[in-house]
Amino acid sequence: MTQYVALLYYDRNQYWDSPPEREFHSEYMEFARRATEAGVMRGGEALHPVTMSTTITVSGGKGGDVLLVDGPYAEAKEVLGGYFLLEAADLDEAIAWAAQNPGAWRGKIELRPIAPIHA
Amino acid sequence: MNAADTLVEVLRSEGLRVLATLARTVGDLAVAEDALSEATITALDAWPRTGIPDNPRAWLAVVARHKALDLLRRESARSAKETAAFRWGTEAAPDQIEEAIEAMEPETSLPDDMLRLIFTCCHPALGREAQVALSLRTLARLEVPAIARAFLVPETTMAKRLVRARSKIATARIPYAIPSDAELPGRLAAVLAVVYLIATEAHAPTGGGAVARIDLEAEAIRLARLLAGLMPDEPETLSLLALLLLTSARTSARTSADGNPVTLADQDRTRWNRAAIAEGSVWLSEAVNRSGGVAGSYQIQAHLAAAHSTAPSWQETDWDRIIGLYDLLGSITANPVVALNRAIAVTERDGPEAGLAVLKTIVGLEYSHLWHAALADNLRRLGRTSDAAGELHTAVTLAPSQAEQRLLQDRLRAVRSELR
């Protein structure tokens, strides 16, 4: 089995928390319920809008000055709005699940295989 | 101060104190602000009839607490999940918060509450614009339209900026806390920078025609006084207050009768505010006493302002001292504007040849009208009138405000008349 993170991207003006998008929330919940029952969903959350972001850089290497920016790392028209962690046998199965998530038609979903880090 | 002014002043200074404690108790700056706003409206209605109460803070605190309770009850009618997302630190249930508000003792930790509020409004996870807007609204208790006018932005823009800032405080959980000793220097520097920026904005309005907006300067001094009162052991806090007072002493002399800016060299020094200079000097010596021999950037700037304020005339200014102070300032902040001001002092002490040579070594001010104006001044003194006119022409095109454009155009006309 391979774990994939499904990254949900939205147009800034069609973000999941905007009032017209809220009517789709029950569909996300429905997706999460079915994927959990199937043993595919291993986690996932929505993210507050990028206006709530803080970007952090430590300048001059470890222990250096912590520099903060009020906002996202990169200003973009399309922004990350949430993620699901999916466990599937292969990419085709992960795609089949992602295609059922409203994020795939309200925005775009990027599937990234997880590179496990073992301590 | 007339009765209406007294009322507004009481509401502003006491309002801040009530807000500081209420925000901690409620755990939500937006709710505390709304509650205080409603209490203020009630006071504005009641006090002109009844007179200002003997203890206006207690009066405001009681009314604001009731308003906060109303707001929280209305809010708890919303979904629990939604409400939980708008709380600071504690996960207290609405009824626990109600109990805390009922038991609220406004005086116990007031200075700490005010410091918490200050450090929250100037938290580095908020952009400078948000910090400035919050400082003027939340700390200085100015109304949104007044802040919007001062920064030449539409009222809706300023209102949105404030809503987003408060929302980020709640959503991203910016803590309502005084920074640890390790963090304090950096965090205090951010607070002082906000106050300094407000004062600078008062002196150099971009775009508009007015030379100075007194109200922003007064607000910066008000905030600096608040900080000096709360952090009397921090020398840079005292130095900032000194600097702002010393600079403000020259405000009325900075503008001519016809509304044009007047440079320091040409100002009528009898119009300087001697009381502000005296008070600024007292705060500066207090800062020196507490700084243990290590002068921070605001202290050096305050010394510079004091050196000018105590000089009988531009010609009789102690340029050795000024240059020495700029050298010191330049050693802690690599800032081309500091280098520019130092070069102007070099011209006065050693003549235009030396001043010009120093100016030409400065990198990074190619787009500053001040640098081109300084070049022009030295060139004119050296008799290179045509070169001076060229530099002034560039300076006019780069000047950020109409007032400065007018000043430079007048100079350009004067130089061109020497050409003929």
Asked if this assembly's ipTM is beyond 0.85, the reply is no
The CA distance from A108 to A6, in Å, is 10
The CA distance from A112 to A80, in Å, is 14
A vs B: CB pairs below 8 A: 22
pLDDT at B96: 63
| Confidence at B83, pLDDT banded by 50, 70, 90 | very low
Residue B267 scores a pLDDT above 60: yes
Residues of chain A found within 8 Å of residue B130, distances taken between Cβ atoms: 70
Closest residue to A71, CB basis, from B124, B127, B167:
B127
Chain-chain contact of B171 with A71 (C-beta, under 8 angstroms):
no
Chain-chain contact of B124 with A48 (C-beta, under 8 angstroms):
no
Average pLDDT, chain B: 89
- Distance of residue B35 Cα from the nearest chain A Cα, in angstroms: 24
Residues B298-352 have pLDDT tens digits of 999 999 999 999 999 999 999 999 999 999 999 998 889 999 999 999 999 999 9
Interface list for chain A against chain B, based on CB atoms closer than 8 Å: 48, 51-54, 65, 68-71
Closest residue to A51, CB basis, from B124, B168, B186:
B168
- Distance of residue A48 Cα from the nearest chain B Cα, in angstroms: 8
Chain-chain contact of B130 with A70 (C-beta, under 8 angstroms):
yes
Domains belonging to chain A, first-starting first, are 2-49+76-113 (3.30.70.1060)
Residues A31-59 have pLDDT tens digits of 999 999 999 999 999 999 999 999 999 99
Handedness of CA B409, B216, B307, B355 (dihedral sign): negative
Residue B91 scores a pLDDT above 70: no
Residue B286 scores a pLDDT above 50: yes
Residue B102 scores a pLDDT above 80: no
**Of the ranges A37-46, B256-265, B352-361, which one carries the lowest mean pLDDT score?**
B256-265
CA distances for B313 relative to B266, B271, B310, angstroms: 9, 13, 9
The CA distance from B119 to B179, in Å, is 8
Closest residue to A52, CB basis, from B127, B172, B186:
B172
Residue B84 scores a pLDDT above 50: no
